[in-house]
Amino acid sequence: MTSAEPGHSLAHRSALAEPLFRRFFPASCFSTLGSWLVRFLFGFSAWEQTHSAFWVGVVAGVMLLPAILLSPLFGIVSDRINPRNGLLVTVAGHGLVAALAALANLAGAFTLPTLVALAALLGAATSAHTPIRLALVPRLVIRQALPSAIGFSAMIFNTSRIAGPALGAWLIAGYSLSMALFAATLLFLCALPFLLSIRGITVTARPEPGSFLVELRAGLFYAASHPLIRRVLGLTLINALLGRTLLELLPAFSGQLLDGTAETLATLSATGGIGSIIGGLIISRQGSDEGHLLKLIAWSLLVCAGSLLSVHWLDGLVAFCLLVLVVSLLTTVVGTSCQALAQLKVDEAYRGRVLSLWTVLAMGAPAIGAIVVGALAESFGFAVVLVGSAMLSMVVLTRLAASRSA
């Protein structure tokens, strides 16, 4: 990583001022948009083939489950390899999956078993891509620009989350599913020349690696014994269970509290995407002062919990859109700030493993939280469950603050 010396300023510096990040930025735009486009097309195909919410859930699950299970493994891999080269492989892998799906659809072989198998391959490619990407970004910028780089990455992610499905729907309506899948393939191919233009990234010097189990245990011990990283992972978990869970349950939230239609859900989802983009922009303007980032995380979580307490008194789509906007903005601020702090403090030899733990918590906890909160909401209603979650989060945050000041 190209980092500033300890005595250098912690003031904000834009990641786009860094030559290597400027080369990475378009690669990230192309590959992230391609990823969301393929995810949308696979979900759409599952519904078109089965008209079953269960099978749509299965396809979504097999795209997510490998990231939860395999990210720690690929975290170890990312500590052993040149992450630029690793991204070339994972982006090409995403493109290959999209191309295979397009060819299968043209041949009339894009059946449900084929779709599930390709969704699993896409999930495996994503589980490798995420920790390798997280290991590369800090090596493209100086220390002061790292929060900015993470903020820009969050903006790309959340903009693509909106643009990918919109592009997919337009391509299917105007052309065909095969054309949409080939378009996704082209997006991944467009990313490769920009990644190839990134030079000077080398394999991190480290002791002779042991077995995967030994290195995984060493990474877990390192994270558990590092006070700030341990706290950051805990805050990531609270954020995932508090705000991200609500965003994962927007369909049920819309239906139960607003008796909403598909248009209602689309409006809430778009509002959440806008909030996430604003949150990423806020983080892109931050410096590398760890104390400031910790305060930003704490206050964002408290305001998020306080916002959820208002759910009992809200009425109408506009009010709930405002709630979703605030929650999405704040959870993005917390998630990206936690990632920035972990990136700033972790030793280079452990970067991939620690960031893979962050990935598991950030991606896996909302999935588990959605199951628990959804089940409780069936019995007690969303309003009661959300208020209870907010109050519990406030108690946990208060205890964490007290233990830190003690």
**What's the count of helices (H) and strands (E) in the chain, helices before strands?**
15, 0
Domain that holds residue 44: 11-204
Q: How far apart are CA 138 and CA 299, in angstroms?
A: 26
Indicate the residue type of 154.
A
Task: Identify whether 6 is part of a domain.
Answer: no
Q: Compute mean pLDDT per 10 residues along the chain, 406 residues long, and list them.
A: 43 85 96 92 86 76 80 84 93 97 96 94 91 90 88 88 84 92 97 94 67 81 90 88 73 70 72 87 83 89 87 83 90 90 86 84 74 74 80 80 60
Q: Are residues 354 and 370 in the same domain?
A: yes
Task: Identify whether 2 is part of a domain.
Answer: no
What is the reported pLDDT for 135? 87
What is the reported pLDDT for 88? 96
Helices (H), 107-145: 112-136
Q: Decide which of 204, 223, 254 is a domain's last residue.
A: 204
Residues, the chain:
406
Q: Are residues 270 and 199 in the same domain?
A: no
What is the reported pLDDT for 52? 76
Q: Decide which of 187, 204, 221 is a domain's last residue.
A: 204
Q: Are residues 230 and 186 in the same domain?
A: no
CB 349 within 8 A of CB 204: yes
Task: Identify whether 5 is part of a domain.
Answer: no
Q: How far apart are CA 136 and CA 375, in angstroms?
A: 39
Q: How far from each other are the two terminal CA atoms of the chain, in whole angstroms?
A: 34
Q: Decide which of 204, 223, 252 is a domain's last residue.
A: 204
The pTM of the full predicted model, rounded to 2 decimals, is 0.77
Task: Identify whether 322 is part of a domain.
Answer: yes
Question: In 10 A of CB 374, how many CB atoms?
Answer: 16
Task: Identify whether 373 is part of a domain.
Answer: yes
CB 342 within 8 A of CB 358: yes
Task: Identify whether 1 is part of a domain.
Answer: no
Question: In 10 A of CB 383, how many CB atoms?
Answer: 16
Domain holding 387: CATH number?
1.20.1250.20
Q: Are residues 98 and 194 in the same domain?
A: yes
Task: Identify whether 4 is part of a domain.
Answer: no
**How many independent structural domains does the chain possess?**
2
Q: How far apart are CA 390 and CA 183, in angstroms?
A: 42
Which tokens go with 406?
A: 């003690």
Closest CA to 286 of 109, 172, 147: 147
Scan for tokens 């912690």, then name that residue.
10
Q: Are residues 397 and 291 in the same domain?
A: yes
Q: Are residues 120 and 179 in the same domain?
A: yes
| 3-class secondary-structure state, position 256 | helix
Query: Which CA distances in Å does 231 have to 57, 223, 260, 300, 307?
Result: 33, 10, 38, 15, 23
CB 123 within 8 A of CB 63: yes
Q: Are residues 243 and 388 in the same domain?
A: yes
Q: Are residues 274 and 345 in the same domain?
A: yes
Q: Are residues 302 and 327 in the same domain?
A: yes
CB 328 within 8 A of CB 247: yes
Q: Are residues 167 and 316 in the same domain?
A: no
pLDDT tens-digit profile of 28-81?
A: 999 999 998 998 888 888 888 888 767 877 787 788 778 778 888 888 888 888
Q: What angle do CA 155, 161, 167 make, to 5 degrees?
A: 120
Q: Are residues 282 and 143 in the same domain?
A: no
What is the reported pLDDT for 207? 58
Task: Identify whether 279 is part of a domain.
Answer: yes
Q: Are residues 266 and 324 in the same domain?
A: yes
What is the reported pLDDT for 146? 87
